Chains A and B, each alone.
Chain A
């Protein structure tokens, strides 16, 4: 890159990164617990109160990729990208009503993962394994996308230090960030991202505040910003069956909201709370992030208005990262160097927090529901914790390989499929919190039908979009594939439950009782 290095921005970025690295290691001593126990390493000892949980869940759910990709969606596709806002709205009543039940039953029975719960509730190893494997596979590309978030800001800083390993060019700063992340997650477990999430949020909220004050003034006000966007992109098509249109917008919001708390990293965040009251309070307080998210999304329109795409100094970045470069370019264009450093550090650290939680959540799943279940049923607590630590490293290496070994579009495709797949665990996990009427074999068949149909729908779209057009009674309805696959899944689960419950009697084991859920 021909432009000179911005020393101030790079220094601020590096100092903040150094600070969170130290925090990551110090976190091991925070509210000290015996880290050779899985619930201490992998759930922070279930001791996080309202405030820490708020930061942890915020860092967990509103990730660096969100901060880069959502504005990119508005930048490229317009209004349809704003679906993240209704998604962020409806997810909180769901959290409030359903997930304190998961917390209670997990607390009483010592469950660490959603698959633990499914196994206890339905007494089915096969169903629990399906839930665990779905969770691990859906999380891997999500970790990869966090690394994309770091990659974009490092490139925008103009840092080009690459080494060549086995024919692949690896960006050195990305490798360093990755190694740091792996090391402190290994040593501190969930305490590390919980502590770092506090710093990340201070930086994010500071950046958002600066963005909504500084940039609209530079661009001549909000009216002017919206006026510079193609009017057809400002709202959705009036034709109800347009694609993308109003139906795809609503189903994307609904499907994403239903999927969110099925992801292993969300479950880990919830189960690390110290009480069900903490979860309820957070359902009230978390929408503050939704507001920040809406403002961040609007940066996509600000980038259009500022005209960064046509500026020669950002051409290389747009060529490499496409619309994902819109936010970094806007920040470089609008902010002084030190603020660029702060904002980029916020995005970079915003990638480390969820990546750490995701790798911990996958490690918990593998250890509890695959290793202990099938390979070493008699393993000690210390062994369990050691396996989880090692698996957390393997999972992160997997994410890194996805990023280095495949084109970036591959990670995005996998993440899109991950969303469709994880939704298929809804009947077993969410409905399981209320009823055990559904038969485990029926749930397994429903899960298989949903995964199969969802993958098939995505494949007919060449894995480029998740909005599959359903033809029902002559109407062409563009619907998020996760939602239509889930509908099929539910139908199969219910119909087959009638069949199995009738055929096999009701001699099924359920180690939980109604009082465990309240």
Chain B
């Protein structure tokens, strides 16, 4: 699968997107109660929303990677 069309790793900036889920480790960002969503405090719903964001990010990177001829 390592054909000529394969992009070099250094050209694949989209891998940086994978750092986004790690922002979930920055606790001060979400350590508060308001605003609530459907009665659920910020602390809880933001972290749950972060799961959805993680799915999206990995999905995008996976698509780009396949377009560029496979993973690293």
Interface residues of A (CB under 8 A from B): 79, 82, 85-86, 88-90, 92-93, 96-97, 100-101, 221-226, 231, 234-236, 238, 240, 246-247, 249-250, 253-254, 276, 280-281, 283-285, 287-288, 290-291, 294, 298, 515, 518
The residue from A235, A281, A290 contacting B51, defined by CB atoms under 8 A apart: A290
B13 within 8 A of A: no
- Known contacts A86-B47, A235-B41; A93 and B27 CB within 8 A of each other: no
> Which of B19, B40, B50, B51 is most buried by chain A, counting CB atoms within 10 A of its CB?
B51
Tell me the minimal C-beta distance from B37 to chain A in angstroms.
9
- In the bound complex, do residue B33 and residue A223 qualify as a contact, i.e. CB atoms below 8 Å apart? no
Tell me the B1-41 residues at the A interface (CB within 8 Å). 1-2, 15, 18-19, 21-22, 24-28, 31-33, 36, 38-41
**A-side contacts of B28, CB under 8 Å:** 240, 246
- Known contacts A234-B33, A235-B31; A100 and B71 CB within 8 A of each other: yes
- In the bound complex, do residue A287 and residue B62 qualify as a contact, i.e. CB atoms below 8 Å apart? no
Tell me the minimal C-beta distance from A54 to chain B in angstroms.
13
Q: Mark B47-60, 1 if CB is under 8 A from A, else 0.
A: 11011101101110
- In the bound complex, do residue B43 and residue A82 qualify as a contact, i.e. CB atoms below 8 Å apart? yes
Q: Once A and B bind, how many residue pairs between them come within 8 Å at the CB atom?
A: 114
Counting from the closest, the 10 A-B pairs by CB-CB distance are: A223-B39, A222-B39, A246-B27, A86-B24, A93-B18, A250-B25, A85-B47, A89-B24, A290-B51, A284-B58
Select from chain A the residue with minimum beta-carbon distance to B46.
Answer: A85
Tell me the minimal C-beta distance from B9 to chain A in angstroms.
11
28 A-B residue pairs with CB within 8 Å: A82-B43, A85-B50, A85-B51, A89-B24, A90-B22, A92-B54, A93-B19, A93-B22, A93-B58, A96-B18, A222-B40, A224-B39, A226-B40, A231-B33, A235-B32, A235-B43, A236-B31, A236-B43, A238-B31, A249-B27, A250-B26, A276-B71, A280-B65, A280-B71, A283-B58, A285-B55, A287-B52, A298-B44
- In the bound complex, do residue A281 and residue B62 qualify as a contact, i.e. CB atoms below 8 Å apart? yes
Q: Is the interface of A mostly helix, strand, loop or mixed?
A: helix
**A-side contacts of B44, CB under 8 Å:** 82, 294, 298
A294 to B52, CA, bound (A): 12
A288 to B40, CA, bound (A): 19
Q: Is the interface of B mostly helix, strand, loop or mixed?
A: helix
- In the bound complex, do residue A284 and residue B43 qualify as a contact, i.e. CB atoms below 8 Å apart? no
> Which of A79, A88, A96 is most buried by chain B, counting CB atoms within 10 A of its CB?
A96
Of the four ranges (under 10, 10 to 19, 20 to 34, 35 or more), the interface on chain B belongs to: 35 or more
Beyond A96-B58, A97-B15, A287-B51, list 16 extra A-B contacts (CB 8 Å). A82-B47, A85-B51, A89-B21, A89-B54, A93-B54, A97-B72, A101-B72, A222-B38, A235-B41, A238-B31, A246-B31, A249-B27, A287-B58, A291-B51, A294-B51, A298-B44
> Which of B27, B40, B50 is most buried by chain A, counting CB atoms within 10 A of its CB?
B27
Tell me the minimal C-beta distance from A239 to chain B in angstroms.
11
Tell me the minimal C-beta distance from B10 to chain A in angstroms.
15
**B-side contacts of A82, CB under 8 Å:** 43-44, 47
**B-side contacts of A288, CB under 8 Å:** 55
**A-side contacts of B31, CB under 8 Å:** 235-236, 238, 246
The residue from A79, A92, A100, A280 contacting B21, defined by CB atoms under 8 A apart: A92
Select from chain B the residue with minimum beta-carbon distance to A93.
Answer: B18
A291 to B28, CA, bound (A): 22
Tell me the minimal C-beta distance from B66 to chain A in angstroms.
8
A377 to B32, CA, bound (A): 59
Tell me the minimal C-beta distance from B60 to chain A in angstroms.
10
